[in-house]
Amino acid sequence: MADNKQNAPRRRMGGPGAGIVPGEKAKNFKGTLGKLLQRFGKYPYQVAFVLLASILGTVCFVMGPEILRRATNLLQTGLQAKLIGTGEIQLGKIGAILAGLLAVYGVSALMHLAEGLIATQVTQKLCFSLRREISEKISRLPMRYFESQPIGDILSRITNDVDTLSQSMQNCFTQFIFSVTSLIGITVMMFVTSWQMTLIAFALIPISGGLIGGIMRVSQKYFKRQQKYLGEINGQVEETFAGQTVVKLFGYENTAMETFKETNSSLFASAWKSQFLSGLMMPLMNFVGNLGYVGVVVFGAVLTMNGTLMVGDIVAFVQYIRNFTQPIQQLAQVGNQFQSMAAAAERVFEFLDESEETQDALNLKQPDELRGAVTFDNVHFGYLPEKTIINSFNCAVQPGQTVAIVGPTGAGKTTLVKLLMRFYDVDSGAVLVDGHDIRELPRHALREGFGMVLQDTWLFSGTIMENIRYGRLDATDEEVVAAAKAAHVHHFINTLSEGYETHLSEDAENLSQGQKQLLTIARSILADRPILILDEATSSVDTRTEERIQKAMRNLMQGRTSFVIAHRLSTIRDADIILVLRDGDIVEQGNHAQLLERDGFYARLYNAQFAVG
Amino acid sequence: MKILGYLKECLGSLVLVILLFVLQVQCDLAIPSYTRDMVDIGISQSGIPDAVPERLSQQTFRDVTLLMPDADVTVLADSYRREDSNAPAAVQALLLSFPRSEDKKGQRAHLSEILRTPMALLAIGPIAERLPEDTPAEMRERVEAMAAEFDITKIRAAEAANPAAKDEILKNVDAEFDKLGEFADMQLNTYSTMRVQMEYKALGMDTNKIQKDYLYKTGGMMLLLSLASIICGIIVVLLASRAAAGVARNLRARLFSRVLSFSRAETDKFSPASLVTRSTNDIQHIQLALVMLIRIAIYSPLLGAGAVWNVLQTKTGMSWILGAAVGVLLLMLIAVNFTVIPKFRIMQDLLDRLNLVSREILTGIPVIRAFSREKHEEKRFDTASRSLLKNQLFVNRAMSTLMPLFFFFMNALMVTIVWFSAKGMDTGSIRMGDMMAFITYSMQIVMSFMMLAMIFVFLPRAEVAAGRINEVLATEPTVLDPPEPLDDVSDWKGEIAFSNVSFRFPGAEENVLENISFTAQQGKTTAILGGTGSGKSTLVQLIPRLYDVSSGRVTIDGTDVRDISQRKLRSLIGYVPQKAVLFSGTIDSNLRFGTDELAQEEVVRAARIAQAEDFILEKDEQYGSEISQGGTNVSGGQRQRLAIARAIAKNPKVFVFDDSFSALDFKTDAALRQALHTEISNAALIIVAQRISTVLRADRIIVLDEGRMVGCGTHEELMKSCPAYQEIARSQLSDEELSKGGGQNG
């Protein structure tokens, strides 16, 4: 209940702290809300029905006490007469009124029920379609976006933000309608019953408004502070636990504990204060409620003395007063929820509005099967427009040749690969595959020419079979097994208790790095593409597995054009073309012997390994 | 329940909270009974509580005595005295001799009992004279008949003639009221209080003021009670917030220090991410749950029980309605528990699933695009998204159904109460105020029931959190300091020796290391070579006691490492782990990590040896450059060099490089090893490596295979004698390179 994120408080059930936690604020509140409302416009009938049902339901809800008042007044006069001995209680009439009242409450419940069901349908469908749009958007965004944006941030838009929306949208809109309608309805009914007592009720507005506002303002301060210290604690804990071994090895435990204790007590101070202040809301609002109650009962009683009022009026008023403070409180909470909803919606819309990859023109020709000839023709490229890193690069690769890309750490060895796969477009010049400028090929047709094995092995949660088959979705089981055999991983898979049906857990923790790499190689073998991109970095793999990987890669490279980000000297030596990179640019190219002869950067790099230290 | 265990820490506050709640509940329960008085006495009886008039004329006094048994007359006479006034005695009124505040042993109640029937009889006459116009004829006749029968003038005359006539009259009175049956009691109250009011009016008292005074006084009491209730409430919130936040603080500190005391054997059981979640989110959950628990779990049952008690006290004969209501509510809750709650529980799983798929898509974008599998991934996402949608629809629909249903239930309950109250009033068993009080009590009972039910919704989650926290707290560190550490050796040299060391992970079936013996001498380089899973990292982790050996011993200068305090032992060792970890701060603070009193030259020297000086000096702030958490703002190679520099700065007796050079390119690797070789001559160097080029020049190479030592010697010796070493060498170097490396070395 108090945990807003998980279980946003339902209507009329606000607990301590509910809706009080300050949310992030949207930068453009109105615009975002407008966009959100536009989406609701797709369901005009449903929205109209929800509005209507909500208003009708609330009107019935508000009428209840008024009808009850009639029954009670009848009861009161009857009883009074009976006590004096001058009349009887009209049970029949009272019964009829009560039956009518029950019916009215029934209608109110039915209306709210229907409203809730339809509102649920609309908001959840809306969130579902938002999620779908996001997932489709991911496919259309340029690579650049993912390399500049932390994954956690995008992830939180897809899940947390949409979740916040789904939790708060329905609440916000239905609660808003309910609160406003019932405020109006109750005010009218109160005036009808007794204007004198209505004034008492109105006296409560500034009191409760002031209390709610005051508490919210002060407690938000502490909530923010708590949030800040929570973040700090989070950082400290994360850092210390991640580096726990180092902390111990360097005898840093005591210092770490001291720092932690300091933040911890700051957190304690802000935690109990925010908890306390938000917890005050309930007793204080109860008190205001009681104040109204006592006021109504006392002054109501005084008014009965001269016959202005009857007991039934007081009973009705007590109910109105109870229901009167609630919508005020709810409106305050809804206001806050609106804020966090708008902030979440804004982040989602921001993502959906990101500029997309230039789409393929429709009239692009479908190439015949690619053979694998690659030409870089006077290529210039830079990640930032003002910073070109590749300058006039020319290189022609024949089908079946192996290209080794070498260079020190951080020299930008993957840039060439990204250009080749058209994750980025060249600034000038052209990359040609089989003589076609790759910008004139449909993206999927181009990419279907490539197989890829990266250092960061990517496997998804699913069976081993599914993961290998990812290379070619229509491959038979036999073909998958054949690919696994070619990748020297078949034997290992068979040692697993469930073989090919073994389910890989999140991050495939049940496999070693080397085994994961073998699986991705099998995937690429299965894909059977004319051009290969391989990343050889296998630093965390033991020698035997490495040997297996090497064999598997050699199997894979057979007869294909291969671009290898090379670390192994044997690969480099055997390559047809070696591209030497330094600070992003290609500084030398040629084969091993040619480059050694030139005695330039490559030669220095090569010799460095054996310059004994 | 585990979460209740935490409450032990704040037992004092808890006792106080319970006391305050008892007080608050009393206030909250008293308020409806004042409402009842307000309606039944304040309004219906015009503020006159009973049949006892505060003032009484002598005539009325005499009339009353005519209508009561003689024993009662004595009591009455004792209760009233002449008003002390200057008026002539004959017209003086009588004054009640004890004010209401001095009512002891129900004196007034007894008096009211005595006076009720006579006062009621005296009221009939005046009432009959002023019957409303619209009174049905039949009723008018009855009242007038009664008035005629009990005409006071006739009674005065009859009794004056014959004192024994009193018995006859009293008998008639009983008979008359018997006819009314149950209703008699209420009617007597009404008539008698009306007569009291008439008496006041006759005496010239302001009856309006009396009524208003009663209303204000009762209202004032209600306000006072509300005030008392809110004060209790506020103090409880204060105590609960402090207690819960205090428990959270202590838990966090305990968890943190417990994790710090763990050795690798214990941390291996928990992933760092899960430890972070445990010490932040989980504890936050517990804090919230505790506040709720303290505030609701104590208050609600108290209030509910009190309300039930009060309802039973009212004897309205409607308790069965409440029983039925609670029964229906229970059925509703049980139904919800079996249908909705399970769906609530799987909601998190479905969200996690969607999260997982999204993360996989986002991390795999290059691969997905390379294989043109965008549509495939969208479908995968859609499946997860759709099952979430289904569940959300179900849960939200259920909630949308439950809320109106619940409110209808509450309203129906109220309508039912009003209906049966109307019937009850008809038979004279209850009055208006009773009904209002009953409604209030019913709502209190139903609400406290709902609140309690809500605890059962959020408590399981806090229980899970508590379980996860207790799991960590219950894990005992296995690497402990000796009771009497042998730290007082002034001159440590740093010779590390393994003798017959075997090691197996806790709970494992096989040894990871089997019978390892070797010595790493001061000033020499000892290399440990082997594939992944050969146990080489584990081996060096035994030196600073990240794990303890299972058998055999590891010694430093002949002293078992387990006989030295961990602090001392680790101060002698400069350890560079496989994965470089930096801490937020500056480059300088990272290099001085754990050794504050270091001279600046030492720091610079360390950076130079570690080949870190160049890139540090390139930065604007140089040694003062900011390092972000985990060192993510420097490259992998730079991070590794800083980690190496940090170990060098410590000036240890033993260096352990656990495969620390792999993130470095060949050139830096070579320069670094060169610098280490020349600058550090007095320490023992232990290097774990996979690349054979890293270890070519070591004074001794230890070859590990599946936890066994399969070779030990220099490169040349091993090339001749050790097949495993030869295999590794061949796979990594060409013959030419082998001879080149070997040649330079030899």
Task: Return all residues near B672 (Cβ < 8 A) that are at least 6 apart.
Answer: A613, B609, B610, B611, B641, B644, B661, B664
Residue of A154, A279, A454 lying closest to B367 (CB–CB): A454
Query: What order of strands is seen across the sheet that includes strand B513-520?
Result: B513-520, B496-503, B551-556, B559-560
Strands A577-582 and A402-406: parallel
Q: Give the model's confidence band at B11: pLDDT under 50 very low, under 70 low, under 90 confident, else very high.
A: confident
Domains of chain B, residue spans: 29-215, 317-429, 496-572+652-745, 584-650
Tokens for B520? 């790493």
Question: Which one of A294, A457, A461 makes the best mutation probe of the B interface by having the most chain B beta carbons within 10 Å?
Answer: A294
**Which of A153, A158, A167 lies closest to B377, judged by CA?**
A158
DSSP A9: P
Alpha-carbon span A53 to A55, nearest angstrom: 5
The A577-582 sheet, strands edge to edge: A450-453, A531-535, A561-565, A402-406, A577-582, A585-590
The Cα B563–Cα B486 span in angstroms is 6
Residue A366 is encoded by which pair of tokens?
């479908």
Indicate the residue type of A474: D
Question: What is the C-alpha separation between B153 and B736, in angstroms, rounded?
Answer: 144
Helices of type H across A496-567: 513-527, 543-557
Strands A585-590 and A436-437: unpaired
CB A333 within 8 A of CB A9: yes
| pLDDT value of position A546 | 66
Q: Write the residue in B376, B422, B670 that is nearest to A89 by C-beta.
A: B422
| pLDDT confidence bin for A611, thresholds 50/70/90 | very low
Chain B residue nearest residue A421, CA to CA:
B370
Tell me the CATH number for domain B496-572+652-745.
3.40.50.300
A interface mutation test: which of B365, B390, B598 has the most A CBs within 10 A? B365
Whether B689 and B659 have beta carbons less than 8 Å apart is answered as yes
More confident residue, A176 or A306: A176
Contact present, B614 and B635 (Cβ < 8 Å): no
Contact, A10 vs A276, CB < 8 A? no
Query: Which band of pLDDT confidence, cut at 50, 70 and 90, is reported for residue A17?
Result: very low
User: What pLDDT shows up at residue A103?
Assistant: 93
Residue B438 reports pLDDT greater than 90: no
pLDDT digits (tens, 9 = 90+) for B21-58: 889 888 888 888 888 888 888 888 888 888 888 888 88
Interchain contact A530–B (C-beta under 8 A): no
Of residues B555 and B626, more confidently modeled: B555
Give dist(CA A460, CA B383) in Å, integer: 15
Q: Give residues with Cβ within 8 angstroms of B680, minimum separation 6.
A: B609, B648, B655
Query: Does A16 contact B295 at a Cβ distance shorter than 8 Å?
Result: yes
d(CA A152, CA A146): 11
Least confident of A249-258, A506-515, B550-559: A506-515
Cα pseudo-dihedral B138, B139, B143, B144, rounded to 10: -40
Give me the residue label for tokens 């939200």: B396
Confidence of residue A3 (pLDDT cuts 50, 70, 90): very low
Q: What is the pLDDT of residues A63-76, one digit of tens each?
A: 888 888 888 888 88
Least confident of A238-252, A441-455, B74-88, B205-219: B74-88
Contact B248 A514 (CB under 8 A): no
Q: Which of A525-534, B170-179, B215-224 has the highest mean pLDDT?
A: B215-224
Task: Give the number of C-alpha atoms closer than 13 A to the C-alpha of residue B38, restricted to the C-beta side.
Answer: 32
Facing A305 at nearest CB: one of B211, B223, B363: B211
Helix (H, G, I), strand (E, B) or coil at A434: coil
Distance of alpha carbon B222 from alpha carbon B257, whole angstroms: 52
Strands laid side by side in the B525-529 sheet = B573-576, B654-658, B684-689, B525-529, B700-705, B708-713
CA–CA distance, A249 with B656 (Å, rounded to integer):
11
Token pair of B612, please?
Answer: 């870190």
Of A267-271, A533-537, A563-567, give the range with the top mean pLDDT. A267-271
Model confidence pLDDT, tens digit, residues B704-715: 877 778 888 877
What is the Cα–Cα distance from B45 to B61, expressed in whole angstroms? 21
Q: How many CB atoms lie within 10 A of CB B360?
A: 20
Residue of A249, A254, A602 to mutate when probing chain B, most B C-beta within 10 A: A249
pLDDT, chain B, mean: 79
SS3 content of chain A, % helix, strand, coil (to 5): 65, 10, 25
pLDDT of residue B532: 59
Among chain B residues, CA nearest to A109: B404
Q: Is A237–B280 a contact, with Cβ atoms under 8 angstroms apart?
A: yes
Instruction: Record the pTM.
Output: 0.73
Structure tokens at B530: 């082997």
| CA pair distance B174, A551, nearest whole angstrom | 116
Alpha-carbon gap, residue B495 to B515, rounded angstroms: 19
| pLDDT at residue A123 is higher than 90 | no
Residues B285, B288: Cα–Cα separation, whole Å: 5
User: Which A positions 166-185 lie with beta carbon below 8 A of chain B?
Assistant: 166, 170
| SS3 assignment, position B41 | helix
Interface test with B, best of A50, A272, A433 (most B CBs within 10 A): A272
The mean pLDDT of B122-139, rounded to a whole number, is: 78
Q: B696: closest CA among B683, B671, B714, B681?
A: B714
Task: Note whether B43 contacts A138, CB cutoff 8 Å.
Answer: no
Chain segment A294-307, per-residue pLDDT in tens: 888 788 878 877 77
> For residue B596, what pLDDT is reported?
67
Q: HSE on the CB side for B152, CA within 13 Å?
A: 18
CB B136 to CB A155 under 8 A? no
Please, are residues B421 and B440 in contact by the beta-carbon 8 Å criterion? no
* Site of tokens 């009022």: A309
Does pLDDT of A11 surpass 70?
A: no
Helix (H) or strand (E) holding B194, with range, is helix B183-202
A470-484, A503-517, B424-438, B464-478: range with lowest mean pLDDT: A503-517
Shortest CA distance to B406 belongs to which of B471, B499, B332, B297? B332
The CA distance from B66 to B156, in Å, is 7
Q: Write out chain B residues lying below 8 Å of A473, CB-based.
A: 373, 376
- Kindly give the pairing relationship between strand A402-406 and strand A561-565: parallel
The residue to which tokens 């004060």 are assigned:
B231
Cα–Cα dist B136/B143, whole Å:
11
For A409-413, B312-316, B338-342, B735-739, which range has the lowest pLDDT when averaged over its residues?
B735-739
User: What are the pLDDT digits (tens) for B596-643?
Assistant: 677 777 777 787 787 777 777 777 778 777 776 666 666 667 777 888
User: Within an 8 Å CB–CB cutoff, is residue A129 touching chain B?
Assistant: no
Q: Can you list the alpha helix ranges (DSSP code H) found in A244-398?
A: 244-249, 253-305, 311-352
Mean of pLDDT values over A450-457: 76
Q: Does A151 touch chain B (CB under 8 A)?
A: yes
pLDDT in tens, B182-230: 677 777 888 888 888 888 888 888 888 888 888 888 889 888 998 998 8
| Interatomic CA distance for residues B435 and B441, integer angstroms | 10
The pLDDT of residue A10 is above 60? no
- Distances in Å between the alpha carbon of A62 and those of A59, A178, A182, A198, A274? 5, 11, 7, 15, 35
Mean pLDDT of A586-609: 78
- The mean pLDDT of B3-10, rounded to a whole number, is 80
| More confident of the two residues A408 and A96 | A96
From the CA of A392, how many Å to the nearest CA of chain B? 26
Predicted local confidence at residue B742, as pLDDT: 43
Cα separation, A523 vs B371, in Å, equals 10
Confidence tier at B723 by pLDDT (50, 70, 90): confident
Taking alpha carbons only, the member of B607, B663, B580, B258 closest to residue A243 is B580
Distance CA B583, CA A363 (A): 54
Touching check for A375 and chain B: CB below 8 Å?
no
Q: Which of A77, A185, A323, A89 is nearest to B414 (CA)?
A: A323
Read off the pLDDT band of A24 (50, 70, 90): low
* Other CB atoms within 10 Å distance of the CB of residue A123: 26
The distance of B529 to chain A (nearest Cα, Å) reads: 10
Distance CA B544, CA B562 (A): 10
Instruction: Note the ipTM here.
Output: 0.79
- Residue of chain A minimizing CA distance to B289: A2
Q: A99 falls in which pLDDT band (50, 70, 90)?
A: very high
Q: Is the pLDDT of residue A609 over 60?
A: no
> Which helix (H) or strand (E) segment is A229 a member of?
helix A195-242
DSSP secondary structure letter of residue B522: T
Give the Cα-Cα-Cα angle B697, B699, B703 (nearest 5 degrees): 85
Residue A475: C-alpha distances to residues A445, A463, A468, A525, B319 (Å): 19, 15, 9, 12, 73
d(CA A398, CA A372): 7
| Cβ neighbours of residue B493 closer than 8 Å, sequence gap 6 or more | B522, B557, B653
**Interface subset of B 89-118, CB within 8 angstroms of A:** none
Question: Does residue A2 register a pLDDT over 60?
Answer: no
Comparing A519-528, B120-129, B220-229, B313-322, the range with the smallest average pLDDT is: B313-322
Instruction: Band the pLDDT of A106: cuts 50, 70, 90.
Output: very high
